Amino acid sequence: MLALEALHKRYGDVVALDGASLAAHRGRILGFLGPNGAGKTTAMRSVFGLVSLDDGTTAWDGEPISPASRLRFGYMPEQRGLYPKMRVADQITWLGRLRGMAVSDASEAARHWLGRLGLANRLDDRVEHLSHGNQQRAQLAASLVHDPELLVLDEPFSGLDPMGADAMADILRDRAESGAAVVFSSHQLDVVEDLCDDVAVIADGRIVLDGTIEGVRASAPKRRLEVAFADPTIIWTPPIAAEPSRNGRGVQAWLIPADADPGALLEDAGGRGRVTQFTFSPPALSEIFREAVQ
Amino acid sequence: MTGFQATWLIARREAKERARSKAFLASTVVTILLLGAVVGVMALTDTGPPQYDVALVGDSPPGLSGALDAAAVASGSLIQFSDLTDREAIADAIELGELDAAVLDGDTILLGSSPPSTLRTILEFGLRQSRFIERLEAAGLDPATVTTLVEPDRGIRIVTADEDEQSNEGIAFAAIVLLFLVITTYGQWVLMGVLEEKSTRVVELVVSSTSVRSLLAGKVIGIGLLGLAQLMLLISLALSAGWIFELFDLPGGTAATVAWSLVWFVLGFAFYAALNAAAGSLVSRTEDAQAAAMPIALVAVASYLLTFVVILPNPDGLVARLLSMLPPVAPIAFPARIGFSGVPLWEILFAAGIMLATVVGVIRLAARVYAGALLAAGGRVRILDAWRAAAELTAGR
Ligand SMILES: Nc1ncnc2c1ncn2[C@@H]1O[C@H](COP(=O)(O)OP(=O)(O)O)[C@@H](O)[C@H]1O
Ligand SMILES: [Mg+2]
């Protein structure tokens, strides 16, 4: 288990981390969500000793993270980068060896992952001659080659087309299924809702929400209310504190306090006209997210 | 994976990738071609062994011309016999320098105003030997026995002390220029290598799996080994070309000069390379890199000039001895001093000790600056900020 406890980091006047704590478990995918500048990258870099924390601890399986434990971690930095003149397979093999693999194992693993990512016929190309998308794939192979116990990916979905995003999601799921703890950050919500088992939402350097997806949705302080009338021209507003939400065609939607009484609301709406659709449910992750980081 | 293993992996990658790069191949080929051109010019302008024109007049011992030839060959020169017979004409020709020497009546040697000592030796030796043969034959030995007795069974080489010192000076000059060039060139590679790692951001990936110190040490060692290999290739090509085309005689001290040059190359390279790595880590653009490395280049050039202007004219003076102890100067000055005049071993070892301690200090300092600056975001970093960042970073590890 990866445990980040009470991380603090300032850059001059900017507070990047303000007591953030985080846990990622083996066999599960943690989505680390937050708007730009919230402190996601700083927290992830602290795992690899790339940030000198003002305070807080980082631990893996209960032990403080050491250079030796980092050899069992895979990392995809936000700022991607490989040696541009080095051949793809050589480079991934070399990175495997740097994390302690034997030459033959590293070479085999490099070929395996590059093949799986669709780079089987580019093994001897220099990295600089790969397209942007292929460089991203090579970068992913670099984080996977040594079969890490912990995989930390900073914005892995940014810049991917839908097919690339699907392939990425497949690989993350596959890694979690084979026992690794997977953490990835994102500032876009739509991609991740179906993918992660757990979420942690960070804003201004503090974790504002975390837990399993179901738990987070169930314990949200708001509920989503959707109402549709047979006569689409009817305008109705709930008789309680409600904020309008994104609505579909002919459907009106609000976020309302979770303790509101759906029966009373349905009765009130029914007084205006015939109700054809009425939903009272936990909000979508993206709504919780928006709510949390405001 | 220990720090040493990681350092070695990094060093190997550095040397291998660079050796495969077009820039490195091109620079090696160009240098070899230049070397070839120099050897070619030397070979074309080489007039061969020295040739002496000698006239024999009067009653000479019968074996004289043969003995002179043999003596000349033994000392690596040739004798051309003149057909002048008139004594006055001979004296004039010697005065005018058209003739180098004459042997009159088998007992007088006539030489110009500043005769080459080799010629003198050849003539004296030849004359003595032919007289000796004459006496042996007069004593009743048959000519065939005499021939086998006096025939030189192996060559005799005449090397004067003066000549030896001169060639060593040539080698020392070559060593200074070559050392300065390679130390600064490979230092530039380190500078650019650090910058490339920073600008392509690959450093973050590498440092997530190993320490900054291993990365720095590996880079310096890898480039240093490649540089050393290139240097040895060039030196051995130059020496073997010189040997094949008989362009120069290698004086006795060459091996020592070359060996010490390599030792000082290693120390000097480590010193300047570590400084360059620190400079490279402080900036993120090529244009800034040259500015950041400027002070280092100036120190290198100043050391080079000091060696030529102050140390070489009086290599054993107190000033020269003190100056050459200074770490930036030592790697250039010591090979030169060793080539020019004997330097006591204790002095070499003492200076190497100072140098080694300094190199260790500089590498630690550079690793700290490198650590702090590499991980700071973009732009030009002030050295003090880098230092502070590094202090925190190393404390965190
Ligand atoms: N090296 C740095 N120097 C100065 N400020 C930084 C540095 N790294 C991050 N910050 C600041 O810290 C805050 C958090 O940044 P970051 O962790 O990159 O956020 P995120 O990844 O969530 O977008 C931002 O305001 C950012 O500008
Ligand atoms: Mg970020």
pLDDT tens digit string along A150-173?
999 999 998 888 888 888 999 999
Q: Whose CA is nearest to atom 26 of ligand 1?
A: A37
Query: Do A61 and A112 belong to one domain?
Result: yes
Domain boundary (A191, A216, A241) is at: A216
B75 pLDDT more than 80? no
Of all atoms in ligand 1, which is nearest to the CA of residue A35?
A: 22
Contact A255, A222 (CB under 8 A): yes
Query: Do A232 and A209 belong to one domain?
Result: no
Q: What is the mean pLDDT of residues B13-21?
A: 91
Q: Whose CA is nearest to atom 12 of ligand 1?
A: A16
Answer yes or no: do B209 and A50 touch at CB < 8 A. no
**Per-range mean pLDDT, top range of B33-42, B115-124, B216-225, B384-393:** B216-225
Query: Do B200 and B343 belong to one domain?
Result: yes
- CB proximity B385 to A under 8 Å: no
Q: Which domain holds residue A173?
A: 2-216
- Closest-CA residue of chain A to B390: A52
Question: How many separate domains does chain B show?
Answer: 2
Q: Report the alpha-carbon distance of residue A24 to residue A17 in Å, rounded.
A: 18
Query: Do A198 and A225 belong to one domain?
Result: no
Tokens 């033994």 correspond to B74
- In chain A the first and final C-alpha atoms are separated, in Å, by 30
The per-residue DSSP string of A73-107 comes to EEEE-SS----TTSBHHHHHHHHHHHTT--HHHHH
Q: What is the CATH number of the domain that holds B106?
A: 3.40.190.10
pLDDT score recorded for residue B209:
92
Query: Do B307 and B180 belong to one domain?
Result: yes
Query: Do B204 and B261 belong to one domain?
Result: yes
Of all atoms in ligand 1, which is nearest to the CA of residue A44?
A: 17
Domain boundary (B127, B150, B173) is at: B150
Q: Report the alpha-carbon distance of residue B321 to residue B307 in Å, rounded.
A: 11
CA B36 to chain A, closest CA, distance in angstroms equals 31
Q: What is the mean pLDDT of residues B113-131?
A: 82
Of all atoms in ligand 1, which is nearest to the CA of residue A202?
A: 22
- Closest-CA residue of chain A to B375: A50
User: Mean pLDDT in chain B?
Assistant: 80
Tens-place pLDDT, residues A203-260:
999 999 899 988 988 888 889 999 999 988 888 888 888 888 877 778 888 989 988 8
Query: Do B255 and B294 belong to one domain?
Result: yes
Contact B174, B231 (CB under 8 A): no
Q: What is the CATH number of the domain that holds A279?
A: 3.30.70
| Complex ipTM over 0.90 | no
- CB proximity A157 to B under 8 Å: no
Answer yes or no: do A70 and B13 touch at CB < 8 A. no
Contact A114, A92 (CB under 8 A): yes
Query: Do A210 and A268 belong to one domain?
Result: no
B53 pLDDT more than 80? yes
DSSP state for residue A170 in the 8-state scheme: H
Residues with CB under 6 A from ligand 1: A 11, 14, 16, 34, 36-42; B 376-377
Tens-place pLDDT, residues B172-210:
677 677 778 888 888 888 998 888 888 888 988 999 999
Q: How confident is the model at residue B253 (pLDDT cuts 50, 70, 90)?
A: low
Alpha-carbon separation of residue A27 from A22, A154, A181, B379 (angstroms): 16, 19, 5, 40
Q: Pick the closest to residue A52 from B316, B58, B375 (CA basis).
A: B375
Contact A247, A253 (CB under 8 A): yes
Q: Which domain holds residue B82?
A: 51-150
Query: Do A22 and A130 belong to one domain?
Result: yes
Q: Report the alpha-carbon distance of residue B328 to residue B180 in Å, rounded.
A: 11
B105 pLDDT more than 50? yes
B396 pLDDT more than 50? no
Contacts of A100 in chain B (CB under 8 A): 1
Edge-to-edge order in the sheet of strand A222-229: A243-244, A252-257, A222-229, A275-281
Distance B290 CA to ligand 1 centre (A): 29
Answer yes or no: do B208 and A77 touch at CB < 8 A. yes
Query: Do B207 and B140 belong to one domain?
Result: no
User: Under the phi-then-psi rule, with left for phi > 0, alpha for psi from -120 to 50, and beta for the rest, what region is B76?
Assistant: left
Q: What percentage of chain B has pLDDT greater than the value 70?
A: 82
pLDDT score recorded for residue B252:
58
Chain centroid to CA A43: 13
What SS3 class is residue A206? strand
Q: What is the pTM of this model?
A: 0.76
Answer yes or no: do B1 and A71 touch at CB < 8 A. yes
Identify the sign of the CA torsion A110, A116, A122, A125: negative
Query: Do A152 and A268 belong to one domain?
Result: no
User: How many Cα atoms within 13 Å fall on the side-chain side of residue B384?
Assistant: 0
Q: Report the alpha-carbon distance of residue A179 to residue A151 in Å, rounded.
A: 11
Q: Which residues contact B323 (CB under 8 A, 6 or more apart)?
A: B306, B310, B311, B329, B333
pLDDT score recorded for residue A108:
97
Contact B309, B139 (CB under 8 A): no
As given in the structure block, the two tokens for residue B325 are 């102890």
pLDDT score recorded for residue B395:
44
Tens-place pLDDT, residues A91-122:
999 999 999 999 999 999 999 999 999 999 99
Answer yes or no: do A79 and B375 touch at CB < 8 A. no
B144 pLDDT more than 80? no
- CB proximity A282 to B under 8 Å: no
- CB proximity A105 to B under 8 Å: no
Domain boundary (B150, B171, B198) is at: B150
- The residue length of chain B stands at 397
Of all atoms in ligand 1, which is nearest to the CA of residue A43?
A: 17
CA B22 to chain A, closest CA, distance in angstroms equals 11
Query: Do B186 and B297 belong to one domain?
Result: yes
Contact B357, B370 (CB under 8 A): no
